[in-house]
Structures are given as C-alpha cells and as structure tokens.
Homo-oligomer: A and B are copies of this chain.
Amino acid sequence: MSAIRLLVLGAVRQHGRAHGYQVRNDLEYWGAHEWSNAKPGSIYHALKQMAKQGLLVAHETAPSTAGGPPRTEYEITEQGTQEFLSLLRAALVSYDQGMDVLSAGIGFVVDLERAEAVALLHERVAAIEAWRASVTGYYTPTEGPESLGHIGEIMNLWVHSADAGAEWTRGLIARIEAGAYTFAGEGEPFVGVLAEGQENPYATGVPDPGDPV
C-alpha cells in the first residue's frame, strides 16, 4: 500500500477540516511530493475514495473566496481516525513498505504516545533482524555465496540496506527515549500544517537529484 492514504488522512486530521487544495499544500510543505507519489490526481482520488468508504465526510462548500471551482471540504470520522492510527502503526513497523511509507510514518509519529512509538520501533528493528537472519540463512547455505553469480549482489544490497535501516531505527529509539520531541499527551503538539493563507517557507529551492531509495 502506498503512503497516500496515510498522508491525506493525517493532513485532514491535523486541520480538523480541509479541502483538497489545502491537503495538497500541506504535502508540498512536508516535501511529500519529493518522496512519495503525491500528485494532485492521487490526492483528490484518495479524498473521494475515503469519503465513499466512510473514513471522511464531505461538506459541499460555496465557491472559494479566491477564484477557482467550488471546493469540497472534508472532515475525518471516528472510523477514519482508527484507520489513520492503524496505517500509522503499520508504517512504523513493517519493513516491506518503501521509504515513502516510513517517511510518512515518521512525520506522524508524534501523534502516538511516546511509549507506543518506542515499542513500535523496537518491533521494527526485530522484524528487520528476523528478515536478515532468514535471508542470509536461506541464500548462502551449501555451495557458498559465489554460486549465485552477480545475482548474489542483489541480496548483498538488501542486507546492506536492512542493516542501515536497523541502525537508523536504533538511533531514533535512543533519541526518543532520551526525551526528544513532543508526543501525544505531552502538551503543546507540534504544528505540522499551514494555516489558511500562511505561505510555505520551503516552497522552492528543493534540490533536484531525486529521492532516496
């Protein structure tokens, strides 16, 4: 599953009530258009789809104050909040979900309580280590690692990335346990969306060369 639903649900949730263009702007503010497939079409599609599924409610609104077609505002439902939390937990734990999903999960991690975040990240490390053990055990048994030819390099790549991912996760756990950041229920939450009319300080100048793997 892609990161879009998580991102869109999270954006709507932080706003309380938001129309598509606002969500679109938040995702750009977060840089999500750089590291996820957050194109306009995908965002509006996700909003409509999730409204159809009862995760959001749609409010038809009068034409916008500043030009353009009439907008629809969305609000998250109780069911949508459950889905958001469920997607968020999955994003933090599961290791088979591309960096976009993990990035989105990190972006919302402070919406959980500190203890749960730490627990989920520990789960993540455990999952990576289990995967690593099984894959190295499975692919390098009798005939030695060279029997695979250059195909062995693919496994080497995976293992390398897994190790880097685990190390990064351990570092994050340590920082969180040491008291970094403000989590749910710890007072003044982190403000992660643009207020109506506020301009995006990161709007341009973002580097070209592409996104991390």
Contact = CB atoms under 8 A, between A and B. Distances in A.
B151 A160 contact: no
Interface string A143-167: 0000001110110111111111101
Given A106-B157, A158-B35, A160-B168, A96 B211 contact: yes
Interface of A: 30-31, 35, 94-99, 102-103, 106-107, 109-110, 127, 130-131, 134-135, 138, 149-151, 153-154, 156-165, 167-168, 171-172, 175, 180-182, 190, 192, 205-213
A96 B99 CA distance: 11
A38 to B, nearest CB: 14
B213 A98 contact: yes
B164 A161 contact: yes
Contacts of A109: 150, 153
Chain B CB within 10 A, most for which of A31, A110, A127: A31
9 contacts: A95-B212, A96-B211, A103-B157, A106-B157, A107-B150, A131-B209, A161-B213, A162-B213, A165-B212
Given A135-B207, A161-B161, A154 B213 contact: no
Contacts of A103: 154, 157-158
Given A192-B151, A207-B138, A165 B213 contact: yes
Given A154-B103, A213-B99, A207 B134 contact: yes
A131 B97 CA distance: 23
B150 A190 contact: yes
Nearest to A209: B131
